[in-house]
Amino acid sequence: MGNASQSVKTKKAPEIMEASKPDTATRIQDVAERLFVEHGFEATSLRMITQQAEVNLAAVNYHFGSKDALFESVFMRRLAPLISGCLAELDELEQQGGKLEVEDLVKTFIRPCLALSKDPSRGGALFVRLLSRTLVENHRQLREVISQQYSVFVQRYSVAFQKALPELGTEELAWRMHFAFSVMFNAFAGNDVLKIFVRSQVVSARDPDMIVKHLVPFVVAGLTSPA
C-alpha cells in the first residue's frame, strides 16, 4: 500500500497513545496545511514540507501519490466535517419546527466555523484560511471534487433562507447570500482588506468569539434589510 494515488490513508491508531509524534502521513498533512495557508500551493515546495515534518522527501509521493493529491487530501480532511457540522445544525433547527429566523440560520453556519476555529486539534482557523486561498487560487480538479460532493450544502441553505425570507425574490436572495457568506468566510479567515493599508498589526484582535459577536448583527442586518 502507499504509492497508489487513491490511498487516503487508513492506518491503525497506535494502541498506547504516544505523546510524541503522529503518523508520517498525518505529520505531512499537518505541516502541509500550515505551509499551504502561509505561502500558497505553488510557493510551498515538497522539500519545505518534508523537512519540517521530519520525513523523507519521497514520503509525500509514497503516501499521497503527488503534490496535488496531497493538497486535496489536506483540504478534504477538514472540509467534510465542517460541512457535516453545518448540515447537522441545519437539520436540528428545521426539525424543531416554528418559523425559521434568519439569525438562527446564520448561526448554524457560524457555530461550526467558530468551533473549528477554536479547536487546535483540527488546525484551528487554518482551514478557513486555506479555503479562502483555494477560493482565489483556482485548483480546477479540486473544485470539481468539491462541487460534486457538496453542492447540497448551498441548496440546503438556499431553501432554508428562502423560507426565512419569503418576501425576497430568488435573485435578490442569491445576491444577499453571496454577500453574507462572503463576509462570514473572510471574517473567519482573517482577510482584512483594510489591514493592507495600515502598518499596525495590532488591529487583528483574532479572538473568534469577538468576531462572532460583531459579525452576526452585521450579516443579519444585511440579509433582512427591506427589499
Partner DNA sequence: TTAGTATTTATATGTTTGTTTGAAACGGCA
Partner DNA sequence: TGCCGTTTCAAACAAACATATAAATACTAA
Chain positions contacting DNA, by CB under 7 A? 1-2, 11-12, 24-25, 44-48, 55-63, 66-68
* Residue number with CB closer to a copy of itself (27 or 78): 78
* Residue number with CB closer to DNA (43 or 210): 43
Shortest Å, Cβ 10 to DNA: 8
Q: For the chain, what is the largest distance between any 2 Cα atoms, rounded to a whole number of angstroms?
A: 60
Give the CA-trace dihedral at 15, 19, 25, 31, to 10 degrees. Answer: 160
Give the up-direction half-sphere exposure of residue 125: CA atoms within 13 A in the CB hemisphere.
Answer: 17
Candidates 2, 14, 169, 222; binder of a copy of itself (CB under 8 A) is 222
Q: In this structure, what DSSP letter does residue 100 have?
A: P
Using an 8 Å Cβ cutoff, are 102 and 220 in contact?
A: yes
Candidates 71, 134, 164, 165; binder of a copy of itself (CB under 8 A) is 134
Give the whole-angstrom CA distance, residue 75 versus residue 41. 11
Q: Tell me the CA distances in angstroms from 153 to 19, 34, 116, 165, 192, one per residue in order.
A: 37, 26, 18, 18, 26
Candidates 67, 178, 202, 209; binder of a copy of itself (CB under 8 A) is 178
| Binding of a copy of itself by 221 (CB under 8 A) | yes
Q: Which residues are near a copy of itself by CB under 8 A?
A: 39-43, 132-137, 143, 146-148, 150-151, 153-154, 172, 174-179, 181-183, 185-187, 191-194, 196-199, 203, 214-215, 217-225
